[in-house]
């Protein structure tokens, strides 16, 4: 519904405060904030009853019990390409449109994925520590066990970001194959319908598939066993996609060689076993975390909300919640 001449639209910004988002709306909007679940629960009932749009500023969960407090809610614009933290079933049932922020982060995340892969294989983090320790002054640094040469990468997921990673691997002359739920039309890379079969035929798995119930613990002990002792796992998707205890056991036992992880099952809590391992590179979920990219993501949250309340279609609706006529 478009904004009337004397009508203000009540919006809720849920999650950490972000200046670009807060400053992105004109006086036609009335903004309310809740930085976390506790603050959301304390939002006055008379305010909740007037909220028509929610901007989710980070990957904070927004479930049915919370959404039920907003009877006039029309749109949820969430920050990030993933949206498994939003209760899509409730949104569909109540004709609430959900949007995310794809495209603007694709190249940044792809850069991170390739950098994490190379850092893991060539042991760059260990080399940095070696120099800082002063050991280089007394002895030569040992050769890295891993290399990008003579590797074959199996992409687990081949959406926008997966394709951007594959382009970078092409430039590095690394063969690429892929697995996802369905073959991608027009895709020239070899497709595997069976993930275990792909893991058996490659020595590197790059995980960039959506989170949620359908992919929970997709990378399990069987997949890791198939990947084998030269195997390297890179995860820039969601922590839920990997069976974390199975991964720890595979790394500990030598079932696979190494892992590079930007995401974890219970962020920001990373298991001590992973933090203690020298064959694991750990990043604090920074796939898209540059100023230029995060600003573009913030702006897309704003632009989706403003488009909707100007009577236009949102820019980036997710497929699970189609844009219903108003």
Helix 160-171 with 106-122: angle, nearest 10 deg: 50
Q: Convert the pLDDT of each residue in 135-181 to its tens digit.
A: 999 999 999 999 999 999 999 999 999 999 999 999 999 999 999 99
The question of whether 129 is a catalytic residue gets the answer: no
Exposure of 179 in the CB half-sphere (CA atoms within 13 A):
22
Is the pTM higher than 0.85?
Answer: yes
Cα separations in angstroms, 4 against 7, 253, 323: 5, 65, 21
At 108-140, the pLDDT tens digits run 999 999 999 999 999 999 999 999 999 999 999
User: What's phi and psi for 94, nearest 5 deg?
Assistant: -105, 15
Q: Which of 49, 93, 267, 320 is catalytic?
A: 267
**d(Cα 40, Cα 63) in Å, to the nearest integer?**
12
Confirm whether 74 is a catalytic residue.
no
Please pick, among 151, 238, 244, 294, the residue that the annotation labels catalytic.
238
Active site residue 32: no
pLDDT band with cut points at 50, 70 and 90 for residue 326: low
pLDDT of residue 59: 86
């Amino acid at each position: 519904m478009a904004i009337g001449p004397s009508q203000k639209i009540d919006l809720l910004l849920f999650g950490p405060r972000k200046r670009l988002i807060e400053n992105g709306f004109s006086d036609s909007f009335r903004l309310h904030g809740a930085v976390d679940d506790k603050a959301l629960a304390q939002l006055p009932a008379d305010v909740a009853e007037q909220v028509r749009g929610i901007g989710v500023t980070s990957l904070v969960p927004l479930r049915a019990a919370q959404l039920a407090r907003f009877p006039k809610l029309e749109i949820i614009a969430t920050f990030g390409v993933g949206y498994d933290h939003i209760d899509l079933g409730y949104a569909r049932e109540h004709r609430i449109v959900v949007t995310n922020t794809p495209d603007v982060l694709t190249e940044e995340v792809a850069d991170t994925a390739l950098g994490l892969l190379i850092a893991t294989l060539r042991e760059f983090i260990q080399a940095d520590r070696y120099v800082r320790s002063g050991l280089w002054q007394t002895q030569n640094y040992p050769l890295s066990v891993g290399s990008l040469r003579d590797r074959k990468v199996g992409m687990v997921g081949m959406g926008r970001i997966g394709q951007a990673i594959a382009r970078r691997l092409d430039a590095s002359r690394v063969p690429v194959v892929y697995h996802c739920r369905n073959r991608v039309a027009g895709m020239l890379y070899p497709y595997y319908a069976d993930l275990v079969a792909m893991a058996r035929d490659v020595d590197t798995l790059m995980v960039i598939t959506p989170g949620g119930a359908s992919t929970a613990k997709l990378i399990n002990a069987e997949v890791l066993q198939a990947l084998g002792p030269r195997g390297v796992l890179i995860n820039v998707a969601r922590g839920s996609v990997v069976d974390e205890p199975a991964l720890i056991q595979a790394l500990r036992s030598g079932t696979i060689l190494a892992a590079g992880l930007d995401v974890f099952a219970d962020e920001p809590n990373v298991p001590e076993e992973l933090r203690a391992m020298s064959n694991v590179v750990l990043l604090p979920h920074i796939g898209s975390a540059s100023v230029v990219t995060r600003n573009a993501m913030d702006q897309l949250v704003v632009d989706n909300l403003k488009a909707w309340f100007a009577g236009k279609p949102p820019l980036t609706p997710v497929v699970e919640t189609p844009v219903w006529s108003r």
